[in-house]
Amino acid sequence: MSAVVLITGASRGIGAATALLAARAGYAVAVNYSANSLAADEVVRQIRQAGGTAMAVQADVADEAQVLTMFEKVDAKLGRLTALVNNAGVVDQTSRVDAMSMARFKRMFEINVFGSFVCAREAVRRMSTRHGGTGGTIVNLSSVAARLGAPGQYVDYAAAKGAIDSFTVGLAKEVAAEGIRVNAVRPGIIDTDIHASGGLPDRAREMAPQVPMQRPGSAEEVARSILWLMSPESSYTTGTVLDVTGGR
């Protein structure tokens, strides 16, 4: 039985880099996307061109019904899930908390927190030996913002990622005896287009002097750490939040 991974938000950035590396490592890859089907199809095309197995699957992770449908499609086409990467996430325009709206708070937590919870729940139902599964791995995407707080910019995003850190530790302990390892990666300043979606397209390069290594990281550097946490090489690692921050 081949290894099957579902990567949320895999049409771009860290998710796309993880999808390509996972395929190279022998995983059949489900490339989730919310809206950009062309970008997701391109990731699938690259995987198939290199001889791998992949499918694109649309779902907004903030919508439980769409998540359930997504998992059913992956079950039907690729087989039983053995790995989940909770990568889908959003930032918003930089703002102080006293200028943020309730709509912004809800969007931030529905996508970044609730989406990860629902996807993890569905993965556990498939992987856990308690439910007839054979085990698996879950890797959540946190952020160094969870440690730093992101004052004056994204305190809501930082708080959502802080929730992911706690979720990772708690779920890891809950399912450790059921064949599932749960870890998280906490990226620092990574050169992807998520910064542009927050209104700061040059943020990665501008913040490089604040990073001890004096440069932003790449999506592939984060993807390599995700692949390590998914692999047997990290077989005694669970409940860990791994900083990939250039020392920040």
Catalytic positions are: 157
pLDDT value at residue 210 = 87
> Rounded distance, CA 85 to CA 63, Å?
17
For the chain, what is the domain count? 1
CA atoms lying within 13 Å on the CB side of residue 111: 19
Distances (CA, A) of 177 to 31, 136, 226: 29, 12, 22
d(CA 129, CA 154): 39
What end-to-end distance do the CA atoms of the chain give, in Å?
40
For residues 151-170, give the mean pLDDT. Answer: 97
125-129 — which CB contacts under 8 Å span 24+ positions?
A: 126/71, 126/75, 126/80, 126/81, 127/80, 127/81, 127/82, 127/178, 127/179, 127/180, 128/175, 128/178, 128/179, 128/180, 129/178, 129/179
pLDDT per position as a tens digit, 35-66: 999 999 999 999 999 999 999 999 999 999 99
Q: Is the pLDDT of residue 206 over 60?
A: yes
Query: Which pLDDT belongs to residue 196?
Result: 59
Cα-based angle 63, 68, 71 (whole degrees, multiple of 5):
125
pTM greater than 0.85: yes
Q: What is the pLDDT of residues 111-140, one digit of tens each?
A: 999 999 999 999 999 999 999 999 999 999
Q: Both tokens of residue 121? A: 């729940």
Query: What proportion of the chain, given as a percentage, has pLDDT over 90?
Result: 87
CATH number at residue 85: 3.40.50.720
Chain segment 90-116, per-residue pLDDT in tens = 999 999 999 999 999 999 999 999 999
Q: Which domain holds residue 167?
A: 4-244
Does residue 195 contact residue 54 with C-beta atoms inside 8 Å? no
pLDDT at 208 over 90: no
